[in-house]
A and B are shown apart, each in its own frame.
Chain A
């Protein structure tokens, strides 16, 4: 009990620190002024141009959850689900390997209305996160996932089209406000067609290939996915982002997620590369090297040996060794 609660407390503390840092920023901003109205384009529409980032835990799990000791866990001393310990792949990361708690971003009752068969697949996905999550292979993340991954993205709002450029694997999508042909094939990033409803940008996204997930918890969809995204300005520096998710092959009814997107306010902020293809070559092809870099592949299975040494002068260890 004590073992995991310490980890969880550290994770919560880190999360709280992050949240309070955020609150102090917003308090400072609001202290001396009214809420800043949304920026406008020359034709009077809300102007979403800028660099944005979700600041939440949706990339871990869309649904409300308590903090977990690791992204993958295994049974510890107890058989209870709430007393699991970090599994080997993340063990050496200590408190940095935990999953922060969240109130979730799923609207209404917070449930994702899976069909019974799909619910079983989601469960399995979560248990086999490292084996299955396309994010780990640096694959195109898809929509909506790219919108709340822990990386910034940039909106360039043009006259007939809006470009969204994502730091993660230098990918992008275009929201077409003008008439455009259907794409010739299904895609990872979908086909986005937008229109204005008052101050809200409504984007219809279709033509997915069904290979993406929603998060690291194994929430998934099929190629029948249909999204309706709604971008509404809250202030100059925040957008209300809402997505209605429909996929009759996986869900019994449409459901909605909702979250704010925050402007990155650093004056020198810009989108930097996260070109992860080269980062995952060992992960994807390591078993096919002549000399393996990460020891212990068994066939196509990676079994990573973890080394964590105690640095010289560590007070705790010096003390108990006496």
Chain B
């Protein structure tokens, strides 16, 4: 029991960090408190797009996005780029209903129930539905393009390893979605192997075995980048925890602090320069940015990503072309073309609208920081060692049969499928 508690504690600490962060989220769809809801960014700060005293377009300020738009479009909308206002209102009503009523949980006392003891509400965005049906504007169907054979092979190798480590657990015995593609069986000898590729947040196993984590805690490297406090990635579209961007610029540089991922924020400097990119042997987690002004738009070319970088299946060959345009006083349009011929069969483009936030409100956007309080990692590793000792002494189950890979999912929130699933992604 103590071991369970230990493992659970680790997860809870991570969650506590999220809670602190999410407390700042403002629009509450479920609450429908219109007095607390923010005005649309553009309406809050009207006026034309400003320029800096030295004549560049002015991107400065604290930015976020006020509306929820899924990355990929739900299939039923086909090639349609925008919702009607009636559809937006209907979707908000449905999302609020599900989140209000949801009290899903796994069978009492099951491992999934214990693992999912925390309420999913905090991981569920409560922003109002935006106008766009998807952030992806190209291809026209709003979907991430198909993977290349090379990328599929790599993903399959990681997935096979993931399944091997899950196969002796309840997730596979009960045929939960997390075990899709796998079967229930005795502990795999692969449990002693090194992972086939550097682990990031790999192809998710889905609810009941999800998060893309492997079911093992032999060392910090077994855990995903989020648990290691290194989840921040470029490009960043916010996800369930959202983000704030603090932009400050001078004539030769645009600096952006990305407050993202529960205290996993990072500092980005975009040099406005004709200098060539870094030499190819210099690789960075967030790549190497080169900016230039094209009319009112800051165009940024990003290369030199590290093999440890992970974005939607892409690693070191990721290439971004970002376009930052201040449309008016309250709005930045961010468009990014994402390319990696070793990962996708064609480039794809995402558009997101950033809304200006109040500069006076000093959001806690650089801290708390994940790493300084990463009790979760210690809890996970110490818990796993305790479980091993208990098993060796005949006092506990074989650790290979236990699941520590986010196997419970979370209670409440949207369902995995059917009527209670998120209507924006269903």
A271–B270 Cα distance when bound, in Å, is: 10
Complex partner residue of B267 from A171, A184, A285, CB under 8 angstroms: A171
Residues on the A chain within 8 Å of B394, using CB = none
Residues on the A chain within 8 Å of B60, using CB = 158-161
Pairwise interchain contact A290-B388, C-beta atoms closer than 8 A: yes
Q: Does B335 contact A (CB under 8 A)?
A: no
Q: Which of A61-69, A77-85, A122-130, A175-183 lines the interface with chain B?
A: A175-183
Q: Does B155 contact A (CB under 8 A)?
A: no
Smallest Cβ-Cβ distance to B383: which chain A residue: A288
In the complex, how many angstroms separate the beta carbon of B214 from the nearest chain A beta carbon?
14
Smallest Cβ-Cβ distance to B287: which chain A residue: A273
Q: Does B282 contact A (CB under 8 A)?
A: yes
Interface centre among B60, B219, B228, B388 (most CB of A within 10 A): B219
Pairwise interchain contact B248-A162, C-beta atoms closer than 8 A: yes
Interface centre among B255, B278, B282, B360 (most CB of A within 10 A): B255
Q: Does A270 contact B (CB under 8 A)?
A: yes
Q: Mark A147-165, 1 if CB is under 8 A from B, else 0.
A: 0000000101111111101
Interface centre among B228, B253, B271, B385 (most CB of A within 10 A): B253
Q: Mark B374-397, 1 if CB is under 8 A from A, else 0.
A: 000110011011001000000000
Q: Does B230 contact A (CB under 8 A)?
A: yes
Smallest Cβ-Cβ distance to A180: which chain B residue: B362
Residues on the B chain within 8 Å of A187, using CB = 366-367
Instruction: Give the total number of A-B pairs whose CB atoms are below 8 A apart.
Output: 133
In the complex, how many angstroms separate the beta carbon of B287 from the nearest chain A beta carbon?
10
In the complex, how many angstroms separate the beta carbon of B129 from the nearest chain A beta carbon?
29
Given contacts A49-B250, A174-B248, contact A289 B369 (CB under 8 A): no
Pairwise interchain contact A139-B372, C-beta atoms closer than 8 A: yes
A184–B271 Cα distance when bound, in Å, is: 32
In the complex, how many angstroms separate the beta carbon of B411 from the nearest chain A beta carbon?
29
Pairwise interchain contact A179-B360, C-beta atoms closer than 8 A: yes
Bin chain B's interface residue count.
Answer: 35 or more
Q: Mark B246-271, 1 if CB is under 8 A from A, else 0.
A: 10111111110100000000110101
Q: Does B147 contact A (CB under 8 A)?
A: no
- Number of residues of chain A lying within 8 A (CB) of chain B: 53
Residues on the B chain within 8 Å of A162, using CB = 248
Given contacts A42-B53, A180-B360, contact A278 B284 (CB under 8 A): no
Q: Does A188 contact B (CB under 8 A)?
A: yes
A272–B267 Cα distance when bound, in Å, is: 11
Q: Does A24 contact B (CB under 8 A)?
A: no
Pairwise interchain contact A189-B248, C-beta atoms closer than 8 A: no
Residues on the A chain within 8 Å of B251, using CB = 49
Residues on the A chain within 8 Å of B255, using CB = 154, 156, 163, 165, 172
Residues from 313 to 332 in B contacting A, C-beta threshold 8 Å: none
Pairwise interchain contact A42-B360, C-beta atoms closer than 8 A: no
Residues on the A chain within 8 Å of B219, using CB = 285, 288-291
Residues from 282 to 328 in B contacting A, C-beta threshold 8 Å: 282, 284-286
Q: Does A275 contact B (CB under 8 A)?
A: yes
Pairwise interchain contact A156-B381, C-beta atoms closer than 8 A: no
Given contacts A165-B269, A180-B359, contact A268 B378 (CB under 8 A): no
Pairwise interchain contact B359-A288, C-beta atoms closer than 8 A: no
Interface centre among A138, A159, A176, A183 (most CB of B within 10 A): A159
What 10 A-B pairs have minimum CB-CB distances, sorted nearest first? A288-B381, A158-B248, A181-B362, A49-B250, A172-B267, A163-B248, A156-B255, A290-B218, A42-B53, A281-B220
Q: List 30 A-B contacts (CB under 8 A).
A: A42-B54, A43-B53, A49-B252, A139-B371, A140-B369, A154-B255, A156-B253, A156-B254, A158-B60, A159-B52, A160-B60, A161-B246, A163-B255, A165-B269, A170-B267, A173-B366, A174-B257, A174-B366, A180-B362, A185-B368, A189-B367, A191-B362, A211-B372, A270-B269, A271-B269, A272-B284, A281-B221, A284-B377, A289-B381, A290-B219
